[in-house]
Structure 1
């Protein structure tokens, strides 16, 4: 639905639900119109009486047509969605909201949800890189802390390549790097290899599986989704065991930033920097800050229906 802001969120695309094998009977979608004009869409999945917007995804809707909706339009959209959910037998609505920086409408939507008695069930510290200054001609090195710039320039001077893994051995290597890195940090397994391959096949223009080699050695990997027309989301990244003198993650971060700029993104969402319970991961926060990350939030809102 290209008329939606940013072309509509990737995670609310029916093909994303297909990718996650969501039964048709469990899918729920509400379109809110006002005076014959589409205002926005709330998409979700219903399971055992719970409507979740952002199913099998970091976040969900609602998707809006305009970046600057009026408060009464959003109040009507939320009220209409609650009424439609109640009619469908939903008992609880859970909305994984996208970060407020995604559009000017997000803070207003947050106000409307709180006004309509939604509670904040969870809040993550989220970080992003604002790419608009780079589009205006700013030097990408201006994002990087001064004490890292010499090391980054040296890394850029060494033979390196960031390639897209489309399958085969490259994808196996990429997945192995990410899986090993997660295990080393005590984290549960990430997205399976076959899921990554199917995701790229379903969204070849929106899913990028990136493998970094330095002097021919695979040293780091990243998964990046184009979640809106002009927003990239870093879904996963990590480095492998290597014999480099410095971590390849600064180089990888720089290449991701400049690559997103080249492909027209205005924002690179670096994702949460907090644990499952919301506790900040201080090391991760500081690393993302050192590469230009700006703090924000990502919240989950819930409300009983009725």
Structure 2
């Protein structure tokens, strides 16, 4: 077997990766989540001096957390990493955390379809090493290789046709429209009694730091916004529909179908292979209406699991 070494460092050290790291693992994004307390653990291919596995953890007292204020934080690795090395990397991380008095580790994974092979290995090895699942939600993803309409069931195809007849149209917006989009979605969520996880100020700060990673899309009836989305380009090949909603008064027009079509075509135009339609849960339980809707749009269910392990002294 090729030689690999395991390391602990502070985020920001310049290294070459054998994989594309996601936005939520960028050192600058980590610092926006929490200004201090981050540790970086990685596996190095000794001959090529490239990183083949990486995990960022925020240490706060006795708790090590991979995602402080982000949708996920996980072990990222090269597709060709030997399974044994990935397993040993997890052992290394736990050993280092024990030495500094950590008593609980939290690893919040993305939807499994983000990285099917390595994700399946990671989930299995976490179970093998005594981790338990403390949160399980259903994500929904759709690959963008085919025509959007081909993935819709007949009901959603009729809705899409109706939106055209009603002369709905969607437009991508500049970041100058962030406040309008945010408060539109916030109002829609308030009517459903669903909270937003980020404040406008937090979003403004993040988008200012990573302007090329965020896209705003609105659906309009004449000049009135009836649906909107804030999307994040997590990697070059994944677009995450982070926030999206529509005005309930326009339920009969089903503007969200056209909204998702706009995101889907944006993915195709920008060589993005996977559109993440987000999770479907309320208070830790499935939101079946939303989940069924996303699956009628051609979405595939993808488990999104959060793991924890309590370390005994």
Give the TM-score, by structure 2 length: 0.87
The answer to whether residue 17 in structure 2 is matched with residue 3 in structure 1 is yes
Alignment partner, residue 161 of structure 1: 170
Match for residue 300 of structure 1? 306
Which position in structure 1 is the counterpart of 2:155?
147
Pick aligned residue for 2:92 from 80, 96, 104: 80
Correspondent of 2:291 among 280, 285, 291: 285
Distance 1:260 1:152 in 2: 18
Tell whether the 8 Å contact from 2:163 to 2:254 is kept in structure 1 after alignment: no
Moved more, 84-93 or 219-228: 84-93
Q: Which residue of 2 aligns with 1:212?
A: 219
1:264 aligns with 2:271: yes
The 8 Å contact of residues 39 and 77 in structure 1, kept in 2 or not, is answered as no
In structure 1, what is the equivalent of residue 53 of structure 2?
40
User: In the aligned structure 2, how far is the partner of 1:84 from the partner of 1:226?
Assistant: 32
Q: Distance in 1 between matches of 2:132 and 2:122?
A: 13
Cα distance, 1:156 vs. partner?
A: 3.7
Q: Distance in 2 between matches of 1:82 and 1:3?
A: 22
Residues 30 and 84 in structure 1, CA contact (< 8 A), matched pair in contact too: no
In structure 2, what is the Cα distance between the partners aligned to 1:198 and 1:44? 22
Match of 2:81, SS? Answer: coil
| Matched residue, 1:127 | 140
| Alpha-carbon RMSD | 1.9
Alpha carbons 1:125, 1:298 under 8 Å: kept:
yes
For residues 181 and 190 of structure 1, do their structure 2 counterparts lie closer, same or farther at Cα, with a shift above 3 Å needed? Answer: farther
Aligned-partner Cα distance in 1 for 2:147–2:54: 38
Q: Which runs of 5+ in 1 are unaligned?
A: none
Say which SS state the counterpart of residue 171 (structure 1) adopts. Answer: helix
2:111 and 2:303 in contact (8 A); partners too: yes
User: Where do 1:179-198 residues align within 5 Å?
Assistant: 179-198=186-205
Which residue number in structure 2 is paired with residue 253 of structure 1? 260
Hey, what's the Cα distance between the residues in 2 that align with 1:285 and 1:54? 24
Distance 2:56 2:197 in 1: 24
Is 1:114 aligned to 2:120, yes or no? Answer: no
Deviations 1:253-291 (A, max 9, x none): 1111111121111111111112232x2111101111111
- Please list the CA deviations of residues 31-74 of structure 1 after superposition, one character each: whole Å capped at 9, or x if unmatched: 2225454221110211221111122111112121x113221011
Superposition misfits of 4+ residues, deviation over 6 angstroms: none
**Any idea what the Cα deviations from partners look like across 1:178-205, whole Å, max 9, x if unmatched?**
1111111111244222222222111111
- Once residues 189 and 229 of structure 1 are traced to their aligned partners in structure 2, the CA distance between those partners, rounded to angstroms, is 26
Q: Do the aligned residues in 2 keep the contact of 1:2 with 1:8 (CA within 8 Å)?
A: no
Residue ranges of structure 2 left out of the alignment (5+ in a row): 1-14
Residues 39 and 56 of structure 2 are in contact (CA less than 8 Å); yes or no, is this contact kept in structure 1?
A: yes
Distance 1:58 1:171 in 2: 20
How far has the Cα of 1:89 moved from its partner? 2.5
Instruction: Decide whether the 8 Å contact of 1:225 with 1:232 is kept in 2.
Output: yes
TM-score (norm 1): 0.89
Query: How far did residue 244 of structure 1 move?
Result: 7.9
